[in-house]
């Protein structure tokens, strides 16, 4: 082999090696931070990145997938009774409670460089900040509220407050979700708390039953009130109609009397006898026809006097 061919071969090998050291594949779900002589020059997305060879460009690959970290209580099988376990907190009314929360976080792609610079400190700072938030929330509430409302109220509080606390550290992460995976009093007093919980559940059950019964009584009262109002309204309407009809009949008879009594002086007597006939018809219908002796008064016969009805046997 001639010297010229060896030279070309060496140059080709050098070019190939340079190309290989300059190329860096970035997989889906990853982002890269490219630093050249310590200065960030690019943050390429998934694909093939080609920069300077021979390590002149330092490329840090970062997964942007969601990660999970556990915060607080960690139960161990050989846990000693006289040792305070990690994640045991004090509530506002001086009761102990074991709490574990799990936080899901991911790299904030808008602050990718911050994450690369703080990678070794991220989970440590995040854990301590979240533990402080847990202690803060628990210290402001009584044990009953903690056990009843903790699973529902604590996650959103942890996300918001922890994100605020780590903002100054520039970790380059964003907390996406949190859940309370364990929330219980210590084993030494758990049976007592369970008994209290059962009693409180029974109280809530009785309160709910009483509330339901109250609602039923109120609905029945509303129905009864509505029925009474409808009947009263119907009775009022009927009485008004009868009164109006009676007033119209009276007005008509008064007009007739005024028109006819001049030509017929006995017209008033005929009206009187007509009314007496109606009165006797009503008396007969009601079973009130009796002897005329019962209607004798000091001034003569008075049919407006009605003796009391005989008592039913």
pLDDT digits (tens, 9 = 90+) for 132-182: 999 999 999 998 899 889 999 999 999 999 999 999 999 999 999 999 999
Instruction: Output the six-digit token pair for 125.
Output: 């700072």
Q: Is the pLDDT of residue 7 over 90?
A: no
Which token pair is 111?
A: 């602050």
Tell me the mean pLDDT in the region 173-200: 85
> 121 to each of 41, 124, 166, 170, how far by Cα in Å?
23, 5, 11, 11
Give residue 291's pLDDT.
Answer: 54
Cα–Cα–Cα angle for 131, 180, 85, rounded to 5 degrees: 50
CA distances from 71 to 100, 120, 143, 150 (A): 6, 17, 20, 15
State the pLDDT confidence band at 10, using cuts at 50, 70 and 90: low
Distance CA 12, CA 7 (A): 9
| Statement: residue 250 has pLDDT above 80 | yes
Position 74 scores a pLDDT of 83
Cα atoms in the Cβ-side hemisphere of radius 13 Å centred on 301:
4
- Of 1-15, 32-46, 120-134, 160-174, least confident by mean pLDDT is 1-15
> In what helix (H) or strand (E) does residue 47 lie, and over which residues does it extend?
strand 47-50
Residue of 72, 101, 70, 68 lying closest to 84 (CA atoms): 72
SS3 179: strand
In angstroms, rounded to a whole number, what is the distance separating the alpha carbons of residues 244 and 21? Answer: 111
Backbone φ and ψ for 262, nearest 5 degrees, come out as -70, -40
Q: At residue 194, what are phi and psi to the nearest 5 degrees? A: -60, -40
Whether pLDDT at 277 is above 80? no
Q: How many CA atoms lie within 13 A of 92 on its CB side?
A: 12
Determine what percent of the chain is predicted with pLDDT higher than 70: 81
Residues in a beta bridge with 96: 90
Q: Residue 78 pLDDT more than 60?
A: no
Would you say the pTM of this structure is higher than 0.75?
A: no
């Amino acid at each position: 082999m001639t010297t010229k061919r060896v030279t070309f071969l060496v140059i080709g090998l050098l070019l190939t090696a340079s190309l290989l050291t300059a190329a860096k594949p970035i997989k889906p779900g990853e982002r890269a931070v490219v630093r050249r002589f310590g200065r960030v020059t690019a943050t390429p997305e998934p694909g093939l990145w080609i920069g300077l060879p021979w390590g002149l460009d330092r490329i840090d690959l970062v997964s942007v997938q969601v990660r999970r970290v556990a915060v607080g209580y960690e139960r161990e099988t050989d846990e000693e009774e006289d040792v305070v376990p990690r994640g045991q907190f004090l509530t506002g009314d001086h009761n102990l409670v074991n709490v574990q929360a799990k936080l899901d976080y991911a790299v904030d792609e808008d602050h990718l460089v911050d994450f690369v610079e703080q990678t070794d400190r991220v989970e440590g700072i995040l854990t301590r900040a979240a533990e402080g938030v847990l202690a803060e929330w628990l210290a402001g509430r009584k044990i009953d509220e903690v056990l009843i409302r903790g699973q529902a109220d604590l996650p959103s509080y942890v996300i918001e407050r922890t994100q605020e606390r780590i903002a100054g550290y520039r970790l380059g992460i964003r907390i996406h979700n949190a859940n309370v995976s364990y929330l219980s009093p210590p084993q030494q007093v758990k049976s007592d708390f369970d008994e209290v919980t059962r009693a409180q559940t029974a109280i809530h059950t009785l309160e709910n039953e009483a509330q339901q019964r109250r609602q039923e009584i109120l609905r029945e009262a509303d129905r009864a009130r509505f029925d009474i109002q409808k009947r009263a309204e119907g009775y009022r309407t009927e009485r008004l109609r009868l009164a109006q009809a009676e007033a119209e009949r009276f007005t008509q008879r008064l007009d007739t009397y005024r028109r006819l009594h001049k030509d017929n002086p006995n017209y008033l007597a005929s009206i009187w006898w007509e009314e007496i006939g109606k009165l006797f018809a009503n008396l007969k219908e009601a079973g009130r026809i009796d002897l005329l002796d019962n209607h004798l008064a000091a001034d003569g016969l008075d049919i407006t006097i009605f003796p009391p009805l005989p008592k039913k046997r």
